[in-house]
Amino acid sequence: MIELAEVGLFVVLFAALFVGWVMGRSKSKKKPAAEKKSIPSDYFRGLNHLLNDQHSEAIDAFVDSLEVNSDTFDIHLTLGNLFRKKGEIQKAIHIHQSLLARPEISAREMRMVQLELASDFMSAGLLDRAGRLLLNMASTSRKSEFHPKILSLLVDLYEFEQSWDKAVQIGGELIKDKPSKKEIKRLAHFHCELAQDFHKKEQWKFALQSYKAALEVDSSCVRASIGIADVLDGQNRYRDAIKELKHAVEQDPDFISLIVPKLKDCYQNVWGSSGYIKFLQEQNEKKPATSLIMALAQHYMETDKEYAEMFLVEQLRKHPTLKGFKELINLQLDNEEGYSQQHLEVLYELIDQLVQAKHKYQCRQCGFAGHQLHWQCPSCKNWGTVKPIHGLEGE
Ligand SMILES: [Zn+2]
């Protein structure tokens, strides 16, 4: 069966042949019959391979038969890209390097080929070669139309290498040159990655600086606010940490399940639980979430178990979730005896297993789901798109 990429290649090839035929016709009108160019033998070789279902050989032969000039330059470039996307990187490199060797291509076309070649090197894992080529291009084309694309590829490269300091530097240049929402978000996460490294080494000052740099780039970066709160918490600066955590909830209430336990710890170290409970109640009014409901129910349990149960039932009616239901059964367990208690225990275990099996986080971009929070989606590679799951099976 012919793969989709292969179908794409043939579409381009037939387009190439059509262009070649049109050009040949227009030229043949001007030339005497004796001067007509004969059809290159590579063309027949390609046709033969195609008829014998030898698709790779057919493509090679067609590429060889196609002359490089200003009309066919784009076709060569597209073919090279198709080879790269198909995973045939060596062929892509071969096409792009042959194009570079042609004396007739313009300076602009040369830049276009070099960009494609850099992508080929990256796909082949030749990161050093890609880096050298891109850095050389970046230094010689500061004002050219290709500069943002060169910087963007360099950022891709440093992101892949996890060279966060370089990614921060080039990412900063890129958003000055061509600011886009996606690049701004990505740059903020690079600052956070750097901050996380400093945090691990207990270099608090540098960690704070990097998290703040992330917020300067993207004021909506919830990861940076949570990170700052973690650093402040590590320095026993609980009041400041609480402010940051409250700010994080304002930035993105979807992360409430991450924030509530941290907030609880900080409040316990300074003001006891009154401010904490007030905050939970206010947030639950604004946007109900299981983490808030459970934290409140646990607090009410300490003083009034009956009220805690009533509260939980009322909240579950408005905001039904598996986790809430599990907690309700847990509360009921103490009220029952004998068989009823045993039945409830079985039910509790079943729901607990169901909750444990469910994914906690999901990418809002590609749907990838998992048990861990990844700031960069492992599937689509977007930053900040994986969030806690809400609804019946989540928050
Ligand atoms: Zn994704």
pLDDT tens, 63-77? 666 666 767 788 888
* Domain-ending residue, one of 235, 263, 279: 279
Task: Let me know whether 1 and 120 are in one domain.
Answer: yes
Q: pLDDT band for position 31 (50/70/90)?
A: very low
b/e 284-305 (16+ beta carbons within 10 angstroms → b)? beeebbbbbbbbbbebbbeeee
Whether residue 138 lies inside any domain: the answer is yes
Could you tell me the distance, in angstroms and rounded to a whole number, from the CA of residue 358 to the centre of ligand 1?
18
Task: Let me know whether 209 and 170 are in one domain.
Answer: no
pLDDT tens, 246-277? 999 999 999 999 999 999 999 989 876 678 99
In the three-class reduction of DSSP (H, G, I as helix; E, B as strand; rest coil), residue 312 is classed as helix
Whether residue 363 lies inside any domain: the answer is no
Residue 199 burial (CB < 10 Å; 0-12/13-18/19+)? buried
Task: Let me know whether 21 and 53 are in one domain.
Answer: yes
Whether residue 303 lies inside any domain: the answer is no
Could you tell me the distance, in angstroms and rounded to a whole number, from the CA of residue 383 to the centre of ligand 1?
8
Could you tell me the distance, in angstroms and rounded to a whole number, from the CA of residue 88 to the centre of ligand 1?
25
- The whole-number pLDDT of residue 36 equals 46
Whether residue 364 lies inside any domain: the answer is no
Cα angle 377, 378, 379 (rounded to 5 degrees) comes to 90
Nearest to 186 by CA among 208, 212, 156: 156
The structure tokens listed for 1 are: 């069966």
Q: Which residues pair with 370 in a beta bridge?
A: 361
Could you tell me the distance, in angstroms and rounded to a whole number, from the CA of residue 365 to the centre of ligand 1?
5
Residue 363 labeled ligand binder: yes
Task: Let me know whether 246 and 258 are in one domain.
Answer: yes
Sign of dihedral through CA atoms 320, 322, 323, 325?
positive
Whether residue 39 lies inside any domain: the answer is yes
Whether residue 358 lies inside any domain: the answer is no
Mean of pLDDT values over 48-77: 70
Residue 221 labeled ligand binder: no
Task: Let me know whether 80 and 161 are in one domain.
Answer: no
* Domain-ending residue, one of 264, 279, 294: 279
Domain count across the chain: 3
Residue 366 labeled ligand binder: yes
> Does 226 score more than 90 pLDDT?
yes
Could you tell me the distance, in angstroms and rounded to a whole number, from the CA of residue 193 to the centre of ligand 1?
18
Sign of dihedral through CA atoms 50, 53, 55, 58?
negative
Task: Let me know whether 96 and 10 are in one domain.
Answer: yes
Give the domain extent around 117. Answer: 1-124
Task: Let me know whether 246 and 229 are in one domain.
Answer: yes
CA–CA separation, 14 vs 278, rounded Å? 69
Q: How far is CA 107 from the centre of its chain?
A: 34
Task: Let me know whether 120 and 164 are in one domain.
Answer: no
Task: Let me know whether 253 and 173 are in one domain.
Answer: no
pLDDT tens, 186-199? 999 999 999 999 99
Sign of dihedral through CA atoms 67, 69, 71, 72?
positive
* Domain-ending residue, one of 279, 311, 341: 279
Could you tell me the distance, in angstroms and rounded to a whole number, from the CA of residue 376 to the centre of ligand 1?
8
Are 281 and 296 in contact by the 8 Å Cβ rule? The answer is yes
Whether residue 162 lies inside any domain: the answer is yes
Could you tell me the distance, in angstroms and rounded to a whole number, from the CA of residue 356 to the centre of ligand 1?
22
pLDDT tens, 281-292? 999 999 889 899
Whether residue 350 lies inside any domain: the answer is no
- The whole-number pLDDT of residue 277 equals 92
Task: Let me know whether 115 and 37 are in one domain.
Answer: yes
Looking at residue 253, the DSSP 8-state letter turns out to be: G
State the angle between helix axes of 290-303 and 256-270 in degrees (0 to 180), rounded to the nearest 10.
Answer: 40
CA–CA separation, 149 vs 114, rounded Å? 11
Task: Let me know whether 64 and 160 are in one domain.
Answer: no
Task: Let me know whether 96 and 162 are in one domain.
Answer: no
Nearest to 195 by CA among 154, 156, 240, 231: 231
